[in-house]
Structure 1
Amino acid sequence: MGIVNEVKLMLFADYFQFYIQDEKVDGDLSDKWTNEAVCILLATTDGTIGVGTVRNMKVPVNLKTFDNEPPFLADDDHVIGQINECDIEVSSGKIVIAGCTDYFPDAKRIELENGVYRARIYYGNLDKISEDGLDGEDFYEIHLWKTDKQDGIKIISHKKTNGCNDNK
């Protein structure tokens, strides 16, 4: 099992989110950002994953693709506050990773074989944000691997965020 590709970006998380989506879908998540989705920092629709963030500034994003399901990241320093999993179906041979207000034609593209992929999203240092919310040490790491089935959204680990209860 190994890393097939790794992309490190600084994305403008306008409206506290960024997208990973199949290049050919419209990626409209406007009705998917329910209260629950905001609380778990994740919204999905066909061919699109919306990753919620704790700041609406530029945030570090690391996306890795794997040839098989990778082991969970080691968290010896206890910086990963949340882990979610979801699916994305790729039918165009490319995914786009961008802030929701980025200019789509200029956004980063990653070539992938068509099929269903599982995404594991790590949210780190969610509690290390400045009081004004402009600066922080938060980071977001996404692991993608091809799978033969869709499992839907799974909340592996969740830390309470503003306005959200502990039942998630």
Structure 2
Amino acid sequence: MSEAKARKLASYSLNLCADYYQIHIEDEEFDDDFPDDWGNQLVTNKIAVAPGIVGVGTARNMTVPIQLDLLDRGSEDEFDSWDHVVEASLDVPSGKIAILGCTAYFPDATRISVKPGSYRVRIYSRGLAGLSKDGLEGDDYYHIVIWSQAYSPTSVLKRWSAS
């Protein structure tokens, strides 16, 4: 990564319903072909990946706050203020990224226009331990950062443990 500071190309503040404890970031033309281990990926690493889609594992099965930033490049960050940080690659041949809850009405999804190609998606999560006893209320917060980058394997940069 470059020493120059990454520049925001677009920024979105969203509140998305995380049905089944997940949010999807996908190529607009993703064909809904989920791998058999999708749920296990989400539980194990709070991220799931298949061609054309990245799933974000959330702490609540409710509406959650998300900040999404499209950057001109990746950035070197400190993870001290975050509970969990993961990243994965996402191919976007259509030139449009959609972000939505897994059961949301797809035509209403937020869309981001990008140059067709490969992107890196980094998900920062915090407040994971701050849920109410019934799991309906919480301080969980998700920051998703996307930038153009050639494919590289999925990575857990900081792992959160409930214990």
TM-score, scaled to structure 2: 0.91
Q: How much has 1:28 moved relative to structure 2? A: 3.6
Q: Paired residue for 2:30, among 17, 25, 28?
A: 25
Alignment root-mean-square deviation, CA: 1.6
Match of 2:152? Answer: 151
How many angstroms apart in 2 are the aligned matches of 1:27 and 1:3? 30
Q: How much has 1:32 moved relative to structure 2? A: 3.3
Match of 1:37? Answer: 42
**Structure 2: any 5+ residue segments left out of the alignment?**
1-5
Instruction: Summarize the alignment of residues 117-156 of structure 1 with structure 2, pairs less than 5 Å apart.
Output: 117-147=119-149, 149-156=150-157
How many angstroms apart in 2 are the aligned matches of 1:30 and 1:45? 7
1:39 partner SS: helix
Match of 1:165? Answer: none
Aligned-partner residue type, residue 38 of structure 1: V
- Alignment check: 8 A CA contact 2:122 2:144 kept: yes
How many angstroms apart in 1 are the aligned matches of 2:139 and 2:79? 18
Q: How many residues align?
A: 158
**Percent of aligned pairs sharing the same letter:** 39
Does residue 106 of structure 1 match 2:108?
yes
Q: 1:95 to 1:36 in 2, by over 3 A?
A: closer
**Structure 1: any 5+ residue segments left out of the alignment?**
163-168
Q: Paired residue for 1:90, among 68, 92, 96?
A: 92
1:92 partner SS: coil
Q: Which runs of 4+ in 1 moved over 6 A?
A: none
Q: How much has 1:7 moved relative to structure 2? A: 0.8
- Alignment check: 8 A CA contact 1:10 1:59 kept: yes
Q: Paired residue for 2:67, among 48, 52, 62?
A: 62
